[in-house]
């Protein structure tokens, strides 16, 4: 039976990037505008780390701590001390943009793209951060980067440009981390979806789950791009999804409480973290950054 519960009642300004770590059996997520990283353990203990800049995404590192995509570049976060240190700048500083959503590929590389704060112009880039802190440009002409994730075999990279209402698919070279053959995987406008594609993940059946922001739905797509399932959520401002829990069968969903174009969210629960039980599918373990 489908059941949705509030996991964390605090209201994030822009909750994003839920990340379940199978080793720690703990859930991480961020408040992009907090800005902060949060961790919730199975015991119920919650820990938070403040950050010096807006944060778009995080990934755990093999050697401990996390890598964070901040406005000025990729940074390391030390969970013991709270120290934040620059690993690499992605591009010259630009007050109009920041690095946004990102995830780690099966080989331990971190892929993240930038977004235009005004969500208007295609002035942003998709990047790959290698273990040696080298940054490579994968694509450009992007307005608002979101939802990077991979097919189970790692050879297809999915990626959303939220403002264009498109989810793309790329051929992904697992040996090098290069991309080619970009094509439209899902066109929200053509399919007459009212919302926009935001955070995403791939489940153990190789289907993609996209969080439809401003409409409050989870959309599941088969590998051929056909719509397989629609799940309604308690808030329209839902932003991202990740499977977790001991059996990887709980969908954790973030949301935002901030105003959008001067309009506050309608629901009192906006900005809270949710757990969706009973979907009948499982996720896959999230890799750690090799650097």
Catalytic residues: 198
- Please, are residues 148 and 111 in contact by the beta-carbon 8 Å criterion? yes
- Residue 69 to residue 242: CA distance in whole angstroms: 18
Is 198 annotated among the ligand-binding residues? yes
The Cα diameter of the chain in Å comes to 50
Strand partners, 92: none
Is 181 annotated among the ligand-binding residues? no
Q: What share of the chain is helix, strand, coil (3-state, %, to 5)?
A: 0, 55, 45
- Please, are residues 143 and 96 in contact by the beta-carbon 8 Å criterion? no
Torsions phi, psi for 222 (to 5 deg): -75, 165
Spell out the residues 6+ positions from residue 81 whose beta carbon is closer than 8 angstroms to its own: none
Nearest to 291 by CA among 127, 132, 70: 132
By the 10 Å C-beta count (0-12 exposed, 13-18 middle, 19+ buried), 229 is classed as middle
Handedness of CA 184, 185, 188, 189 (dihedral sign): positive
Is 118 annotated among the ligand-binding residues? yes
- Around 128, how many Cα atoms within 13 Å sit in the side-chain half-sphere? 21
Is 100 annotated among the ligand-binding residues? yes
Q: Which residues fall in the annotated binding site for a divalent metal cation? A: 16, 146, 198
Annotated binding site, which residues? 16, 98, 100, 118, 146, 198
Annotated binding site for substrate: 98, 100, 118
């Amino acid at each position: 039976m489908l059941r949705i519960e509030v996991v964390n009642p605090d209201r994030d300004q822009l909750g994003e990037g839920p990340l379940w770590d199978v080793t720690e059996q703990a859930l991480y997520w961020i408040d992009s505008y907090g800005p902060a990283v949060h961790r919730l353990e199975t015991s119920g203990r919650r820990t938070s780390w403040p950050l010096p800049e807006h944060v778009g995404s995080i990934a755990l590192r093999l050697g401990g701590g996390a890598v964070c995509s901040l406005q000025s570049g990729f940074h390391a976060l030390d969970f013991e001390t709270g120290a934040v240190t620059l690993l690499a700048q992605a591009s010259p500083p630009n007050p109009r943009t920041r690095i946004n959503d990102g995830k780690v590929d099966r080989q331990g590389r971190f892929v993240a793209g930038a977004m235009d704060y005004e969500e208007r112009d295609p002035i942003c880039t998709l990047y790959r951060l290698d273990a040696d802190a080298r940054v490579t440009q994968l694509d450009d002409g992007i307005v608002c980067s979101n939802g990077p994730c991979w097919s189970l075999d790692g050879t297809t990279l999915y990626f959303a440009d939220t403002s264009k209402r498109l989810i793309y698919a790329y051929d992904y070279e697992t040996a090098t981390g290069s991309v080619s053959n970009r094509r439209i995987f899902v066109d929200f406008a053509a399919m007459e979806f009212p919302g926009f594609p935001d955070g995403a993940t791939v489940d153990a059946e190789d289907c993609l789950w996209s969080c439809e922001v401003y409409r409050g739905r989870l959309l599941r797509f088969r590998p051929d791009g056909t719509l397989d399932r629609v799940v309604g959520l308690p808030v329209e401002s839902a932003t991202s999804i990740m499977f977790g829990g001991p059996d990887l069968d709980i969908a954790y969903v973030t949301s935002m409480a901030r105003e959008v174009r001067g309009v506050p969210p309608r629901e009192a629960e906006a900005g809270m973290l949710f757990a969706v039980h009973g979907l009948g599918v499982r996720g896959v373990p999230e890799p750690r950054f090799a650097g």
